């Protein structure tokens, strides 16, 4: 398993290069928007990847609450972190795309705004993990993940309805997509998925090593204590005196 | 000498807080109707063990069985007292007990009244608990713990910051309760107070039970 | 010989009286009584709400025509900030002297405690709203052009939406550093659909330009979903050591 990692890393790098080549040079130029539309090949796959990762986080959180499996908790943490990274990409590429095309940085576009709220929820998730003690963080964060998942449909519908009352431009374009563009989109998504998997994998390994290190340290500190003091405990009265009576 | 039936059993209990292992495989039993003193230095794991038995913490490994059930399932038979008073400073003693009695499904004043009298306090005292002396507060906290007539009483450092006279009176009261059938587990580092009162002394160090003795003098190993 | 205090019959009646309802009521009356005894917290909260209204009135000129359009948003944002101050106090009394341990060690169901705290918060935030809303009406010369009675369900549902999650996240924040900052940090993102609903509904009624129906249904859905989630998961939060 360990040897697979560098091979996979190289593969991913190659895929990313190929995908970029496809997106920037091979894909046909969009009729109305021109070359700026190519950002679509980064915006959309990032969104799909982020959503997938947050879904993984939800499942891992539920598994943790039910089974109390520390591996599930590690997976939840990792998928949330990488998910926020991809979500940030979505939020940055959205306005970059919108500005030259429609002349405004932000609209109340349903998908983009829902993604913003999703990003906010998961940043608060990461902050909760950072601000709580290591013993409690897993359960609390898992609960928050469930709340976030319940919230997202409500977020989407509320913004969607709000938009029907206040119509504004749609980022991301509606209508059908040229099959050649679809192909490039999927290639990019594959590359992004591999990249996400790579990041999760390495982060997961890091986290597992950190936890194992903690356990080893805990065990070691106790063994060290033991060596010096076992002799004295044999006589309770001595122990009594040492407790400061 | 054989122990009476164990009412609390701890089997290989492990508790890890990140880098620190507070309990490292504790296996021990507590007999019914006996007064147990749990002793050891700071950091020995005494409080952690007691909290796990009370159901306030979950072990990382191993398990605890009380009357054949998990600690949470046996909660009705457990009374818990710690160094913080676990009382509302803004209410009087009787008001506090009246409320906590509700948590146990008791809606009369009899239990609270009796508990307060048992710890030699006045049930009609209307002063808020926040204005009590330390000794009075400890006694009221004990009253709260015994309010629902639990079979098992868990006390964590009940004598800290209490004057010697109050501490002795509390030990006498606890001994009386033991004689009436209550199982007592008392964590303290002031072992001398319990000489002659406790049936069994459990010594802990660095997250393990080192030995159990029946008295404080050397050579009295069970 | 162990003193038998409970017979079988006693045990059964004990079981039935430890229902959530009794404990919720007992906890709620205790909290209200304690709050009444020392009105410090209540008075400072009321004064804070007043300050928020005044600051908003200075910042968003009440005479301008646009202010009337955004009044719905102003009122609810002001309520949101005042509510956070109240919500941060939810568990303050239980934190002192580790009273929460006494609750956890008892057979009382955690949900009974949660409902009592949530209802108590609902009462207090409603009190704050009762102070702030008339002031807004006065400062901004507000008048509802749509069906004004709908403002009542909007107010109730919106307040409960803030309070139910606020009480829950206040409990989560107990276990964190920067406790009082953590509460709004967790509450605001999750509350976005509810806040949008409250504001849009109120604006619809005030301007009379749209129907508030969708928003009322949204708020109702939000309340049902999250009240269920809070009741289902509160125990996990309480038991997190």
- Kindly give the parts of chain B with pLDDT less than 70: 1-4, 217-222
**pLDDT, average across residues C219-228:** 97
Domain span at residue A134 reads 4-200
Residues 35-54 of C with CB under 8 A from A: none
Contact criterion met (CB < 8 Å) for B20 and A218: yes
Interface of A with B in 71-130 (CB under 8 A): none
Asked whether residue B1 is assigned to any structural domain, the reply reads no
Quote the pLDDT of residue B192: 85
For a pLDDT cut of 90, what percent of chain C falls above it?
A: 65
Which of B75, B90, B103 is opposite residue C34, by nearest beta carbon?
B90
CB contact under 8 A, C236 and A139: yes
Contacts for A218 with CB less than 8 Å, ≥ 6 apart:
B16, B18, B19, B20, B21
Name the nearest CA neighbour of C156 among C201, C214, C190, C209: C201
C59 in contact with chain B, both atoms CB, cutoff 8 A: no
Contact A218 B19 (CB under 8 A): yes
Contacts for C10 with CB less than 8 Å, ≥ 6 apart: none
B218 and A235: CB-CB below 8 Å?
yes
| Phi, psi torsion values for B105, nearest 5 degrees | 80, 15
Best-predicted range by mean pLDDT among A28-32, B125-129, C218-222? C218-222
**What are the tokens at C173?**
């924040």
Domain of residue B197 covers 6-213
Q: B74 CB contacts (<8 Å, ≥6 apart)?
A: B55, B66, B67, B152
- Subunits in contact with chain A (3 or more CB pairs closer than 8 Å): B, C
Q: Is residue C1 part of a domain?
A: no
The pLDDT value recorded for residue A212 is 87
Residue A218 falls inside a structural domain: no
Model confidence at A235, pLDDT cuts 50, 70, 90, reads very low
Distance CA B120, CA B169 (A): 9
Q: Report the neighbours of C using a cutoff of 3 or more CB pairs below 8 angstroms.
A: A, B
A69 interaction partners in chain B (CB closer than 8 Å)? none
CB contact at 8 A, B211 and A238: no
Cβ of C3 within 8 Å of Cβ of B180? The answer is yes
Q: Which of A139, A143, A151 sits opposite C193 (nearest CB)?
A: A151
**Given CB atoms, is A24 within the 8 Å cutoff of chain B?**
no
Does A235 sit within 8 Å of B203, measured CB to CB? Answer: no
- B203 located within any domain: yes
- CB of B108 less than 8 A from some CB of C: no
Q: Classify strands B61-66 and B6-17 as parallel, antiparallel or unpaired.
A: antiparallel
- Kindly give, in sequence order, each residue whose CB lies less than 8 Å from that of residue B134, ignoring residues fewer than 6 positions away: B161, B162, B163
Q: At what angle do helices C110-140 and C213-239 cross, to 10 degrees?
A: 140
ipTM field? 0.90
Has residue A31 been placed in a domain?
yes
Of A77-91, A161-175, C53-67, C84-98, minimum mean pLDDT range: A161-175
Residue B219 lies inside a defined structural domain of this protein: no
Distance CA(C52)–CA(C49), nearest Å, equals: 5
Mean pLDDT for A119-142 is 93
Q: Does residue A112 lie in a domain region?
A: yes
CB neighbours of residue C43 within 10 Å: 10
pLDDT of residue A239: 37
Q: Look at residues A117, A148, A135, A132 and name the one whose alpha carbon lies nearest to residue A54.
A: A148
Asked if pLDDT for residue A244 goes beyond 50, the answer is no
Torsion angle of the four alpha carbons C13, C15, C20, C23, in this order, in degrees rounded to the nearest 10 = 70
Q: Does C107 touch chain B (CB under 8 A)?
A: yes
Closest residue, chain B, to C22 (C-alpha): B102
**What is the total count of domains within chain C?**
1
Flag if A225 and B206 touch (Cβ within 8 Å): yes
pLDDT > 90? residue C121: yes
**pTM recorded for the entire structure:** 0.88
What is the reported pLDDT for B185?
95
Q: CA–CA separation, C87 vs C120, rounded Å?
A: 10
* Rounded CA separation C72/A220 (Å): 61
Give the mean pLDDT of A204-232: 71
How far, in Å, CA of A119 to CA of C77, rounded? Answer: 21
> How far is residue C185 from each of residues A106, A144, B207, C156, measured CA to CA in Å?
23, 12, 38, 23
pLDDT over 70 (residue C154): yes
A67 touches chain C (CB under 8 A): no
Q: Which of B214, B188, B206 is nearest to A245 (CA)?
A: B188
> Confidence band (pLDDT; 50, 70, 90) for A225?
low
Q: How many CB atoms lie within 10 A of CB A236?
A: 23
Q: Is residue B222 domain-resident?
A: no
DSSP state of C61: -
Note the pLDDT of residue C200: 94
Q: Which residues of B touch A233 (CB under 8 A)?
A: 203, 205, 210-211
Distance CA A157, CA A163 (A): 10
Q: Count of domains in chain A? A: 1
Confidence of residue A175 (pLDDT cuts 50, 70, 90): low
**Torsion of the alpha carbons at B118, B119, B124 and B125, rounded to the nearest 10:** 180
Can you spell out the DSSP letters for C117-170? Answer: HHHHHHHHHHHHHHHHHHHHHHHHT---SS-GGGHHHHHHHHHHHHHHHHHHHH
- Select the residue of C5, C239, C241 nearest B149 (Cβ to Cβ): C5
Question: For residues A191 and A18, is the Cβ–Cβ distance under 8 A?
Answer: yes
**Residues in a beta bridge with B66:** B8, B69
Least-confidence region, from A211-215, C67-71, C91-95: C67-71
Confidence label for C70 from pLDDT (cuts 50, 70 and 90): confident
Query: Looking at the DSSP assignment, which residues form a beta bridge with residue B61?
Result: B14
Q: Among C23, C98, C241, whose Cβ lies nearest the Cβ of B86?
A: C98
Report pLDDT for C223: 97
Q: Which residue of C has its CA nearest to A122?
A: C189
Q: Show the 3-state SS of C71-94.
A: HHHHHHHHHHHHHHHHHCCCCHHH
Looking at the complex, report in whole angstroms how far the Cα of residue A229 sits from the nearest Cα belonging to chain B. 9
Facing residue for C200 by CB, picked from A128, A150, A162: A162
Mutate to test the interface with C, among B67, B102, B132 (most CBs of C within 10 A): B102
Output the domain CATH number for residue B181: 3.40.50.300
Do the domain assignments include residue B134? yes
- Tell me if C97 sits within 8 A of B89, measured CB to CB: yes
| B185 vs C contacts (CB less than 8 Å) | none
Determine, for residues C182 and A128 on separate chains, whether the beta-carbon distance falls below 8 Å.
yes
C69-93 mean pLDDT: 91
Hey, are the CB atoms on C189 and A135 less than 8 Å from each other? Answer: no
Averaged over A88-110, what is the pLDDT? 87
User: Would you say residue C27 lies in a domain?
Assistant: yes
Weakest mean pLDDT among A192-196, A210-214, B115-119, C227-231:
A210-214
Tell me if chain B has a CB within 8 Å of the CB of C233. Answer: no
Handedness of CA C95, C99, C105, C106 (dihedral sign): negative
Tell me the residue range of the domain where C121 lies.
8-239
Establish if C3 belongs to a structural domain: no
Mean pLDDT of A217-241: 50
CA dihedral B193, B195, B196, B198 (to 10 degrees): 80
* B68/A contact by beta carbon, under 8 A: no
Share above pLDDT 70 across residues of chain C, in percent, rounded to a whole number: 92
A197 phi/psi in degrees, rounded to 5? -60, -40
For residue A225, give the chain B residue with the closest CA: B206
**Radius of gyration of chain C from its Cα atoms, rounded to whole angstroms:** 20
CB-nearest partner of A245 from B24, B191, B201: B191
Q: Could you write out the DSSP letters of every residue in B100-152?
A: HHHHTT--SSHHHHHHHHHTT--TT--SBGGGS-HHHHHHHHHHHHHTT--SE
Average pLDDT of the segment spanning A180-191: 89
In a domain, B218, yes or no: no
Calpha distance C11→B161 (Å, rounded): 38
d(CA C236, CA A65): 8
The answer to the question of residue A233 being in a domain is: no
The DSSP-derived string for chain A is -TTHHHHHHHHHHHHHHHHHHIIIIISPPBTTTBGGGGGHHHHHHHHHHHHHHHHHHHHHHHHHHHH--HHHHHHHHHHHHHHHHHHHHHHHHHHHHHHHHHS-S----HHHHHHHHHHHHHHHHHHHHHHB-TTTHHHHHHHHHHHHHHHHHHHHHHHHHHHHHS--PPTT--S---HHHHHHHHHHHHHHHHHHHHHHHHHHHHHHHHHHHHHHHHHHHHHHHHHHHHHHHTSHHHHHHHTT-
Phi-psi region of A68 (alpha: psi -120 to 50; beta: other; left: phi over 0): left
Q: C203 to chain A, minimum CA–CA distance in Å?
A: 12
- Flag if C229 and A147 touch (Cβ within 8 Å): yes
Q: Which residues pair with B63 in a beta bridge?
A: B11
Min Cα–Cα distance to chain A from C196, Å: 7
**Mean pLDDT for the stretch of residues A140-147:** 96
Residue C175: band (very low, low, confident or very high) from pLDDT cuts 50, 70, 90: confident
- For chain C, helix, strand, coil in percent to 5 are 80, 0, 15
Query: Taking CA atoms, what residue in A is nearest to C230?
Result: A147
In-domain check, residue C2? no
At residue A221, the pLDDT reads 65
H/E stretch holding B214 reads none
The pLDDT score that the predictor gives to residue C42 is 85
Report yes or no: A241 at the B interface, CB cutoff 8 Å.
no
Half-sphere exposure of C234 (CA within 13 A, CB side): 23
Given this model, what pLDDT does residue A228 score? 43
């Amino acid at each position: 398993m360990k040897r697979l990692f560098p091979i996979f890393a190289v593969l991913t790098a190659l895929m990313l290069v190929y995908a970029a080549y496809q997106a920037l040079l091979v894909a046909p130029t969009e009729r109305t928007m021109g070359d700026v539309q190519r950002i679509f090949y980064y915006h959309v796959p990032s969104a799909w990847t982020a959503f997938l990762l947050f879904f993984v986080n939800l499942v891992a959180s539920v598994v943790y609450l039910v089974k109390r499996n520390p591996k599930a908790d590690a997976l939840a943490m990792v998928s949330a972190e990488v998910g926020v990274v991809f979500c940030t990409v979505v939020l940055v590429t959205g306005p970059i795309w919108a500005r030259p095309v429609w002349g405004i940085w932000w609209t109340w576009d349903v998908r983009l705004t829902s993604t913003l709220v999703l990003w906010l929820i998961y940043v608060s998730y990461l902050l909760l993990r950072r601000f709580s003690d290591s013993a409690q963080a897993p359960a609390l964060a898992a609960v928050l993940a469930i709340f976030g998942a319940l919230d997202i449909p409500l977020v989407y519908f509320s913004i969607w309805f709000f938009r029907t009352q206040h119509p504004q431009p749609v980022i991301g374009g509606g209508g059908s997509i040229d099959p050649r563009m679809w192909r490039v989109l999927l290639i990019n998504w594959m590359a992004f998925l591999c990249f996400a998997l790579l990041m999760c994998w390495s982060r997961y390994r890091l986290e597992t090593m950190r936890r194992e290190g903690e356990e080893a340290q805990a065990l070691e500190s106790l063994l060290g204590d033991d060596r010096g003091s076992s002799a004295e405990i044999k006589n309770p009265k001595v122990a009594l005196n040492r407790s400061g009576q | 000498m054989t122990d009476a039936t164990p009412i609390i059993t701890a089997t290989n209990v492990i508790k890890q807080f990140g880098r620190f292992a507070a309990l490292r495989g504790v296996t021990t039993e507590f007999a019914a109707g006996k007064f147990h003193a749990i002793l050891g230095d700071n950091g020995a794991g005494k409080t952690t063990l007691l909290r796990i038995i009370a159901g306030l913490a979950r072990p990382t490994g191993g398990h605890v069985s009380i009357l054949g059930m998990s600690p949470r399932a046996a909660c009705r038979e457990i009374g818990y007292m710690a160094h913080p008073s676990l009382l509302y400073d803004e209410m009087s003693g009787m008001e506090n007990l009246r409320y906590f009695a509700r948590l146990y499904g008791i809606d009369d004043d009899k239990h609270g009244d009796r508990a307060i009298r048992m710890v030699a306090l006045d049930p009609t005292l209307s002063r808020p608990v926040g204005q009590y002396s330390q000794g009075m507060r400890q006694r009221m906290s004990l009253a709260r713990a015994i309010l629902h007539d639990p079979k098992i009483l868990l006390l964590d450092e009940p004598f800290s910051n209490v004057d010697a006279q109050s501490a002795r009176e509390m030990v006498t009261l606890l001994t009386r309760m033991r004689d009436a059938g209550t199982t007592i587990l008392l964590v303290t580092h002031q072992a001398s107070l319990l000489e002659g009162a406790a049936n069994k002394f459990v010594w802990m160090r660095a997250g393990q039970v080192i030995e159990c003795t029946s008295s404080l003098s050397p050579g009295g190993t069970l | 010989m162990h003193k038998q205090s409970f017979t079988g019959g006693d045990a059964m009646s004990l079981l039935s009286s430890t229902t959530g309802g009794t404990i919720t009521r007992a906890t709620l009356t205790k909290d209200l009584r304690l709050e009444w005894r020392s009105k410090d917290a209540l008075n400072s909260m009321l004064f804070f709400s007043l300050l928020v209204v005044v600051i908003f009135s200075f910042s968003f000129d009440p005479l301008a025509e646009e202010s009337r359009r955004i009044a719905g948003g102003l009122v609810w944002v002001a309520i949101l900030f005042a509510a956070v101050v109240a919500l941060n106090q939810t568990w303050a009394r239980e934190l002192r002297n580790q009273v929460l341990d006494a609750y956890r060690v008892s057979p009382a169901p955690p949900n009974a405690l949660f409902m009592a705290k949530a209802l108590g918060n609902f009462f207090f935030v409603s009190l704050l709203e009762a102070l702030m809303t008339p002031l807004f009406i006065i400062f901004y010369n507000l008048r509802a052009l749509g069906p004004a009675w709908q403002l009542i369900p909007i107010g109730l549902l919106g307040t409960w939406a803030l309070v139910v999650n606020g009480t829950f996240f206040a409990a989560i924040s107990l276990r964190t550093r920067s406790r009082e900052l953590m509460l709004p940090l967790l509450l605001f993102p999750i509350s976005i659909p509810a806040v949008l609903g409250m504001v849009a509904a109120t604006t619809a009624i005030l301007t009379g330009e749209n129907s508030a129906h969708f928003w009322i249904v949204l708020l109702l859905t939000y309340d049902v979903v999250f009240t269920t989630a809070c009741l289902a998961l509160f125990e996990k939060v309480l038991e997190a050591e």
